[in-house]
Structure 1
């Protein structure tokens, strides 16, 4: 790892080496405490949702898969609104703050310093995630519990947003040569950048596929009710059923 200049403007643990953060204050909590707080908080949000979403409004017991998906959205909603929402509200001063949420972000920023340098693209992305996708996650939980017809539309929309966000996150960092953290570092790169973001690169695409299939099935059923037959002439045009 490259050595850092002795100038006080560089007295922080972030990359690139010349990143200017004159208001930076060192965390008061050690690394393992911050990571433990994050993991426990995620687990609490997941388990709390698990306890709350046992049945739908008709009294039917939810299947394991249904509960797991709703717990994913419950946990994601808490992360988006609380953790990422805090970042969007304090992005300009977060490097100099030592609240528990600020210390979480300052620790994570050791793998990606864009989260303490008020990077425009990152903050815009996180603002959309926090204030659109976050409430959207909670709305999905409510829609599935109440069996609202919009439930798969909302799941599709939020999952597309989450997938788009994680793609922007990695693609922009790739084009900047992963210059905002120590590449291949076992904690800062593999745990923080890859590990903590991996669920949002894997689960939302699976939920997009599920909602896509459900919505296509619903459209086929609606077409049947409305008297439309599937294409049969090979040209992709639907024909009206003869009465």
Structure 2
């Protein structure tokens, strides 16, 4: 049987529904806050950064809270502790306040999250400088992902549980893969926009000099 019913409990369902709810809020926010002249790419970018910011502040913020006040996720009893206990089935480090993970998550919440909000403001005002900040935050998230998993790969993945399909392919590959594939796509798009703008500016300067 492809899906083992014993893997899907109420915590699993609530965790996945919470992710869906954040996505829905992000979609609605893009419809309400972006100007009508915004392109589909702008809407998609807004949805991603709204989703990204909420995940950082709500989910990862709760992880930082549980892991920096003399406790761990595994000792918590509230809904966020249970959510992270679910994810810790795939990566045990998240349940025990691993110092590398906590350090990365502190940066993720207080640096990435705030830059995401900055990008959203730039999108609402259609400020082209957003492309610089999109590249910055996307690079930070790629580095954060690398520093999360590279030490595990180099040490034999002793804390990763890959023998259960849900934990391996959904929790580890799918959810973490989003923060690899999407930032790379955003960097590529913003790079092209920056180069296009610089090329136009350079052409304009050349024309002025030739006049």
- Aligned alpha-carbon RMSD (Å): 2.1
More helix as a share of residues? 2
1:51 to 28, 31, 39: 31
Could you say which structure has the larger radius of gyration?
Answer: 1
Map 1:48-197 → 2, pairs under 5 A: 48-55=28-35, 60-91=36-67, 92-93=70-71, 94-197=73-176
Aligned residues: 200
Q: CA-to-partner distance for each residue in 1:188-233, whole Å, 9 max, x for gaps?
A: 111111111111110100100111111112222222333499xxxx
Tell me the equivalent position of 1:217.
196
SS at match of 1:189: helix
5+ residue gaps, structure 2, are 1-8
Q: Which runs of 4+ in 1 moved over 6 A?
A: none
Q: Relative to structure 1, is the Cα distance of residues 175 and 228 closer, same or farther in structure 2, using a 3 angstrom cutoff?
A: farther
Q: CA-to-partner distance for each residue in 1:87-106, whole Å, 9 max, x for gaps?
A: 11221422211211111111
Map 1:2-17 → 2, pairs under 5 A: none
Shift of 1:173: 2.0
